[in-house]
Amino acid sequence: MSSDLITDHFRQKRTTRSSAKRTEPQSTQQTAKPKSVQLGADKQSSSKSETENDLDVLKQFDLNWEYGPCTGITRLQRWNRASKHDLNPPVAVKELILSHSDDSMYTHCLWNDYEL
């Protein structure tokens, strides 16, 4: 621990759980120079960006004030409520949620991990 630079740990993204899984193979490479870790990060960034984009779209859906409060309900419930009031939420968001219906990163809101 003491021999590692803090920048090795710091480069890891804290928020997404999927990137936490990816940092495990990265940490095995940490004994090598920091540059190789950076290369490895670049190779995975292309596949990461799609998921990131999706999650960003969902995050923007959460933060949009027109559809009402987002905490405490699933994104699908909020989407259904918004469409019931004719607010025309984007269909792409619904498709994203339904295609990843088993992943709570997609189905639940941004602040899901925080208690009431």
Partner 1 sequence: MFCSTVSQDAGGLLCEPTERSKTFKRSVSEYTDHSERFKLKDRTFARQYAHMYAERLCVMRPKLIEAAKKKWGQNVRTKKLFELKAEEKVVVVGTLFKHMELQPSILKEISDEHNLMPQPERAKFIDEADELILEDELQRILLVDKLDKRALVTGVVVAVYGMEPDEDRGKFHIEDYCFAELETQVPVPVKEKDRYVALVSGLDIGSKSENMMNLQLLADLLSGQLGDEGQQEAAANIVRVIVAGNSLSQDTRDKNQMKQAKYLTKKTTASSVEAVKSLDDILVQLAASMEVDLMPGEFDPANHTLPQQPLHRCMFPQATMYPTMHCVTNPYDFSIDGVRILGTSGQNVQDIYRFSCLEDHLQMLENTLIWGHIAPTAPDTLGCYPYYDEDPFILPECPHVYFAGSMPSYQSKVFRDSKGQKVLLINVPRFSQTSTCVLVNLRTLECQPVTFDMSFQEDSFEGEK
Identity of the residue, 81 or 94, whose beta carbon is nearer to partner 1 in the bound complex: 81
Identity of the residue, 41 or 73, whose beta carbon is nearer to partner 1 in the bound complex: 73
Cα(72)–Cα(76) distance, integer angstroms: 12
Closest separation between CB of residue 71 and partner 1, Å?
6
Q: What are φ and ψ of residue 98, in 5° steps?
A: -70, -30
Is residue 79 within 8 Å of residue 97, measured between CB atoms? yes
Identity of the residue, 9 or 85, whose beta carbon is nearer to partner 1 in the bound complex: 85
Residues 6 or more apart whose Cβ sits within 8 Å of residue 79? 61, 67, 89, 93, 94, 97
Which residues of the shown chain bind partner 1 in the complex (CB under 8 A)? 65-66, 68-69, 71-73, 77, 80-81, 84-85, 116
Closest separation between CB of residue 113 and partner 1, Å?
13
Closest separation between CB of residue 95 and partner 1, Å?
21
